[in-house]
Structure 1
């Protein structure tokens, strides 16, 4: 499971579809609807949030918006649309780690997109994340 801290605009089609599926699975875990992935490290930041389902809904809303902008037909009924707000913190080291990881994937899977983004020095985070200085997150498996 990869719940990117990066803005979903950077993902190739396969990556965006995978993120949608994985975030829906994460939502199911938070709702207690599945036995698998309950202790997945990337879920920690959502599980530790004061309102985990609101945070996951906001996370999914941004993915959905990116899909709509690309003309994809994701099912909005799978997410709870909320007007609430939630912020999660991500370290600059985590964002750098994820950026390098994504660029390695794009170099192999979608070279055109890799070329488009390769000059990016500071990628944008997912809009619900606030970036703070720091190393790679403790939950990241490197």
Structure 2
């Protein structure tokens, strides 16, 4: 499961649709509708919110808005709590940089034209506010070697 902290505009078509599916799965986990992925580390930041379902709903809403801007039609009726204002979640600049590198590596293989179009610094998903810090403790990284 990858719930990107990056703005969905950075994702290619495959990444955007995978992000939608995986965030819907996260929503199902947070709502208690599935037994799988209950302990997935990326859900920690949503569980720490006063209203986790509203937070994942805001996340999904931004992904759907990006998809709509590209001409895709994601079923926003699948969002449990859409369009509710929620406080911004923190994401560290270290986490954002890590995800930026991870995405760029994926795009180099899968969508080199999308990679070529990426310029400048990464932007966070609209749900997140960037704060100084390292890669998040919940991030699962491949060991070097």
What are the ranges of 5 or more consecutive residues in structure 2 without an aligned counterpart?
A: none
Q: Does 1:82 align with 2:83?
A: yes
The answer as to whether partners of 2:54 and 2:84 remain within 8 angstroms in 1 is no
SS of residue in 1 equivalent to 2:97: helix
Q: Is 2:126 the partner of 1:136?
A: no
Quick check: 1:54–1:86 contact (8 Å CA) kept in 2?
A: no
Which whole-Å CA distance do the structure 1 matches of 2:69 and 2:85 have between them? 22
Mapping for residues 95-134 of structure 1, pairs under 5 Å: 95-117=96-118, 119-120=119-120, 122-134=121-133
Instruction: Supply the distance in 2 between the matched residues of 1:84 and 1:106 (Cα, whole angstroms).
Output: 32
**Aligned with 1:85: secondary structure?**
coil
* Contact 2:91–2:131 (8 Å) recurs in 1: yes
- C-alpha RMSD of matched pairs (Å): 0.8
1:27-42 aligned at under 5 Å gives the runs: 27-42=27-42
Normalised to the residue count of structure 1, the TM-score between the two structures is: 0.96
Instruction: State the 1:6 CA deviation.
Output: 0.2
What's the offset of the Cα at 1:84? Answer: 1.9
In structure 2, C-alpha distance between the alignment counterparts of 1:114 and 1:56, rounded to whole Å = 27
Q: Is the 8 A contact 1:58 1:86 kept in 2?
A: no
Deviations 1:38-95 (A, max 9, x none): 0000010001111101100000000000010011111110013233222110000000
Report the count of equivalent residues.
140
Superposition deviation, residue 128 in structure 1: 1.2
Aligned to 2:6: 6
Q: 1 CA distance for matches of 2:35 and 2:127?
A: 27
CA distance in 1, matches of 2:70, 2:92: 28
Task: Give the gaps of 5 or more residues in structure 1.
Answer: none
